[in-house]
């Protein structure tokens, strides 16, 4: 009975620490997800333009998401050049 109680207290302590870390870093995780979503949206919009085809994969989404409009322009220029 005592061992089970100690195990339960340790699990509760680990859960509290995990939730605290998630709450402190949750805004950063949300910002990263938002950047990736906006990168994907800009790539889809750019791919509608005739003559420009940028493959949508993780690398291009990262470049477009974290680079913003300039990152998307860079990808467009690279697709036109090559």
- φ/ψ of 75, rounded to 5, equals -65, -40
The interaxial angle of helices 2-48 and 58-81, nearest 10 deg, is: 20
Residue 32 has a pLDDT of 84
> pLDDT for 55-74, tens place per residue?
989 899 889 888 888 889 99
Residue 27 has a pLDDT of 83
Q: Is the pLDDT of residue 14 over 90?
A: yes
Residue entry with tokens 């085809």:
53
Q: Where do the H-state alpha helices sit in the chain? A: 2-48, 58-81
**Structural contact between residues 65 and 40, judged by C-beta atoms closer than 8 angstroms:** yes
pTM over 0.95: no
Binned at pLDDT 50, 70 and 90, residue 13 comes out as very high
């Amino acid at each position: 009975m005592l061992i089970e109680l100690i195990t339960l207290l340790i699990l509760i302590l680990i859960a509290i620490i995990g939730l605290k870390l998630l709450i402190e870093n949750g805004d950063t995780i949300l910002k990263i997800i938002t950047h990736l979503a906006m990168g994907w949206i800009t790539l889809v919009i750019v791919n509608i333009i005739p003559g420009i085809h940028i493959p949508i994969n993780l690398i291009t989404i990262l470049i477009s998401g974290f680079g913003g409009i300039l990152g998307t322009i860079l990808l467009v220029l690279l697709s036109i050049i090559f």
